[in-house]
Amino acid sequence: MRLYLTVTQEQDKTVSFRVFLPDSERTAFKVECAQEKTTMSQKARELIQNWLREMQEKSPSRSQEDQLSDR
């Protein structure tokens, strides 16, 4: 008997965006990330995810689509 299992995972596509910082802030951020043994990208993602979670907790009735359509 053969059993086939198909698993479909819907994942968000990873995209990039630019952040403009003074050179001194970028350098300080890079140094702190290196000391934590993480990348600047990983740390930025963590900070953004935490901030989004905080915003959702403050206003749980608004979905992400509602927030984006306000712009």
The residue among 70, 67, 69, 47 whose CA lies nearest residue 58 is 67
Q: In the structure, how many helices (H) and strands (E) does the chain have?
A: 3, 0
pLDDT category at 66 given cuts 50, 70, 90 is low
Give the list of residues 6+ apart from residue 43 with CB closer than 8 angstroms, or none: 29, 32, 33, 36
Report, as an integer, the average pLDDT of 43-57: 94
Three-class SS of residue 63?
coil
Task: Quote the pTM value.
Answer: 0.66
Predicted pLDDT at 71 = 56
Instruction: Give, in degrees to the nearest 5, the angle at Cα 53 between 18 and 39.
Output: 40
Report, as an integer, the average pLDDT of 32-49: 96
